[in-house]
A and B are shown apart, each in its own frame.
Chain A
Amino acid sequence: MSSLIKLENVHKVYRLEGGEVPAINGISLSINQGDFVALIGPSGSGKSTAMNLVGCLDTASKGNIFLGKHNIQHLSESDLAQVRGKQIGFIFQTFNLIPSLNALENVALPMMFQNVSRSVRMSKAQKLLEQVGLANRMGHLPNQLSGGQRQRVAIARALVNDPEIILADEPTGNLDTKTGEEIMKVLKGLNEQGKTIILVTHNPDLTKLANKVIKLKDGKIIGNSKSSVGGKNESS
């Protein structure tokens, strides 16, 4: 299996007024295509920072991060934006939808930055919203939707440019248990369709769907285990 994401001795240091605070302290790991990886650890462990680095939202202080063959440490901001737009789909705890755009427009937005024509954008966004079960909510603004519905819109948005990698940062954190389970099922389904999924969570219950669990503490990997249940490789 070729490794899709590879981190080599990655450090991230935040410079604050009181001095330097290390958030990631020499992490090396490798994630294969089709993996369902759970990044788990208490708050402050560096799991979100790690996700931000992989997601090209932030740059590492030291070390190399490879996405496919490219070392993203050497990419310009503009190229990083392209990587984010094309190869990665984000799902956030707080959904992060644009409040002034309706569900359909929110889902279609990432395609705008890839110069996709309006008609294609709209039909594709429509199709995805239908897939996540929001066919009758397309014209609704985010504040007219429930949390679960919002997260479905966010998932549809994450999928719209057909990325290889889905990064989910506490996707169920703001949802009730039942809705959270539904969202996790959607993620699992996506993994089964071949998407590589990185799930950041502090909830150990959610890791059971993953085929790989990486435990972080104080910016270091303290455990790297393969789950016997989840993951496309093992489950199929």
Chain B
Amino acid sequence: MRFDYFLLAVNSIRHRKLRSWLTVVGIVIGVAAIISLITISRSLESTLEQQFETFGANRIFVSGKGFQGPGTQSNGLTIEDVETIEKISGIEYVAPGLFRSAEVKYKEETGFTLIGGLPAEQYEKFYADGGLKTTEGRFIQEDEKYVAVIGSRVAEKMFSKEIGVGNKIEINKLNFKVVGVLEEIGNAQDDNQINIPLDAAREVFAEPEKVDMIIAQVKSGTDIPDMQEKIEKALERKRGDTSFEVVTATQILEQINQVLGVMQIVLVGIAAISLLVGAIGIMNSMYTSVLERTKEIGIMKSIGARNPDILWIFLIEAGLIGLVGGVLGSALGTGMALGIGPIAKEAGFPLIVQVEMPVLVLGLLFAFIVGMVSGILPAYQASKMKPVDALRYE
């Protein structure tokens, strides 16, 4: 007989079209917000993970304390540290790098971007290990000096005119010939980088000795945390201090995920608030519906409806409003998340949006339950009404 109650509920919802739709909209917004935010932040997580897998799974990054990523100054690593790390067994090769910002000039236009300097002879292997390719031209070769391989956004977006292979750019007043353009990596920072040989970078930044970051490529199959410890110990012994940091790609990813986690909680919290507002909307609508149909409740009771019958009719109605809101909200939320993909790509971050079935099911279930729960109180009140009082209501 529950199916009959379902039909009755559908009938009553259809009879009050506008009010029902307005209530549904409240739920739609809440569910859409939750679905889209969860989908986007989970996609963000998995996209970053993929990037790290191809890019830095077997790499250990050593930097001086105070060097908080490319663009900030380090105060301590030297070529001696590079040699120390090179001697550790299990290391395939070590790339000392300078990463600093500089003024870049192209055809009378100037810009400001990150310059990366690695030893010329290591570029090819370094990029190959990271799974990177050029879309145009080639990598930097051994013994080259005033040449540059530019990131995809440097080539396409930095200046009004696109830069191609063979063009000349000026970095801190020194002329460089572009020999290659990298394919899109997927994050704005890497795609905005200009790569030049370390010797040239030393000249550009007037930095004859120091190294900003040492990237150690570990032989595949080696235990990464173990290597991390070995590097830390060797450097400590040799330098006699601990003013350096050794991190693995996994650790960086973990840090990012932590930040993402906090962000996710905040976003879902905001979405939950909007769902709560939707729930109050349902409750309000159900209360009005109960009030409006007090007489109907009396009629139904006079023709034999028991309290549970009335309770079910109203509960199903509330749950149905929730469910319809859930279906539409899930669809809208998924659409919104999918729409973010191209926008993120335009902004320099090719986000791979993945729609996850469990998230959708959760959204639907959640909406249905919210509907039912907000319907409980009004429905209970409706069911408890004395038939004679309900019938008298006008």
- Residues of chain A touching chain B, judged by Cβ–Cβ distance below 8 Å, are 52, 55-58, 77-78, 81-82, 84-86, 90, 92, 96-101, 105, 109-110, 112-115, 118, 157, 161
Contacts and interface: CB of A to CB of B under 8 A. Distances in A.
A92 B388 CA distance: 12
Contact of A81 (B4, B11, B301): B301
A139 B295 CA distance: 22
Top-3 shortest CB links A-B = A85-B304, A100-B15, A110-B303
9 contacts: A57-B388, A84-B303, A96-B302, A99-B15, A105-B11, A110-B303, A113-B304, A118-B4, A157-B303
Contact of A96 (B295, B308, B309, B388): B295
Given A100-B11, A100-B15, A110 B304 contact: yes
A209 to B, nearest CB: 24
Contacts of A85: 303-305
A82 B305 CA distance: 8
B157 interface: no
A100 B13 CA distance: 10
Nearest to A58: B388
A105 B4 CA distance: 11
B382 to A, nearest CB: 14
B219 to A, nearest CB: 74
A201 B112 CA distance: 95
B302 A82 contact: no
B12 A100 contact: yes
Given A100-B11, A100-B12, A81 B304 contact: yes
B187 interface: no
A117 to B, nearest CB: 9
Given A58-B386, A101-B11, A113-B306, A84 B299 contact: no
Nearest to A105: B11
Contacts of B4: 112, 118
Contacts of B298: 96
Nearest to B16: A100
A90 B300 CA distance: 11
B387 interface: yes
Contacts of B302: 55, 57, 84, 90, 96
A120 to B, nearest CB: 12
Query: Which interface residue of B15, B296, B388 has the most chain A CB atoms within 10 A?
Result: B388
A112 B1 contact: yes
A90 B298 CA distance: 12
Contact of A98 (B296, B307, B309, B386): B296
A90 B14 CA distance: 27
B391 A57 contact: yes
Interface in B308-342: 308-309
Nearest to A116: B1
B307 A114 contact: no
A96 B304 contact: no
A84 B11 contact: no
Contacts of B11: 100-101, 105
Given A58-B386, A112-B1, A86 B299 contact: no
Contacts of A81: 301, 304-307, 309
A57 B304 contact: no
Given A85-B303, A96-B299, A98-B299, 16 more contacts: A57-B388, A58-B388, A77-B306, A78-B307, A81-B301, A81-B304, A81-B307, A82-B306, A90-B302, A92-B391, A99-B15, A105-B11, A113-B300, A115-B1, A157-B303, A161-B304
